[in-house]
Amino acid sequence: MLTIKNLQASVEDGAEILKGLNLEVKAGEVHAIMGPNGSGKSTLASVLTGRNGYEVTGGSVDFDGVDLLDLDPEDRAKEGLFLAFQYPVEIPGVSNVNFLRTAMNEIREYRKEDRLSAKDFLAKVKVAGNLVELSDKLSGRSVNVDFSGGEKKRNEIFQMAMLEPKLAILDETDSGLDIDALRIVSEGVNKLRTKDNAIILITHYQRLLEYIKPDFVHVLSDGKIIKTGGAELALELEEKGYDWINEEIAQ
């Protein structure tokens, strides 16, 4: 589904962050990307989704046969790429429901599908809301305005449930969540897993991976994936720290 080859990217002022990153994600898989602060995890999410302020200096990203880097950010979303933001943005005066309705209609139009009827849309809102225990009240409120930290993260997963992406990148969705919220969010994500979609989890901690079992764990360091393993790699990292890998590689 996603093939990243030798991806190199810099921030606009020049510093190179990604230095030849390779990653292959197939449908039905969950990949965890771990790594110390500053290793390039969030940059990877930004570059894949097309955020301003980054320059791709080399490599390629193929997303189901489409050159992802060639598309505008909104078209990447329409192709089925979703990012659960680490810091979800507030949009005052725009209700969550209206926001999602606009997004869904845009995506459906791109895919030459009919608009959802109000009835079908609201039925979907109910199901998706239940999934992350987001009350009806929140879906009527302005996007992320006056939401608690946990509510914002749940709202991201709610949106993921509504938009049904092929590939979802969860950028530190576990940060700032208490244990109950973490469980709710993780269970929501697990229910959204199918054999046709894929998930990339970006996280610092192994804690999230106790709830969402990854098929692969990658360690990102200095802009490259330096080690790949199964779920057990996360445990080993938790125990020994990132320095252990650097030492292992140095040997």
Minimum CB–partner distance for residue 192 and another protein (Å): 16
Should residue 82 be labelled a site residue for another protein when binding is judged by CB under 8 A?
A: yes
Report the candidate in 140, 143, 161 with the shortest Cα–Cα distance to residue 152: 143
Q: Which two tokens stand for residue 168?
A: 């979802």
Q: State the CB neighbour count (10 A cutoff) for residue 128.
A: 22
Q: Which two tokens stand for residue 117?
A: 């009827």
Should residue 147 be labelled a site residue for another protein when binding is judged by CB under 8 A?
A: no
Nearer to another protein by Cβ, of 94 and 226: the residue is 94
Should residue 91 be labelled a site residue for another protein when binding is judged by CB under 8 A?
A: yes
Query: Are the beta carbons of 84 and 169 closer than 8 angstroms?
Result: yes
Query: Are the beta carbons of 181 and 150 closer than 8 angstroms?
Result: yes
Phi, psi angle pair for 214, to nearest 5°: -85, 155
Rounded Cα distance, 1 and 36, in Å:
27
Among the listed ranges 27-35, 86-94, 115-123, 174-182, the one in contact with another protein (CB under 8 A) is: 86-94
Q: Which two tokens stand for residue 71?
A: 């598309």
Nearer to another protein by Cβ, of 158 and 242: the residue is 158
Q: Which of 41, 78, 154, 218 binds another protein (CB under 8 A)?
A: 78
Should residue 135 be labelled a site residue for another protein when binding is judged by CB under 8 A?
A: no
| Contacts with another protein, 45-64, as mask; x by CB under 8 A | ----xxxx------------
> By the criterion CB under 8 A, which residues form the site for another protein?
49-52, 72-74, 76-78, 82-83, 85, 88-94, 98-100, 102-104, 106-107, 110, 142, 159, 163
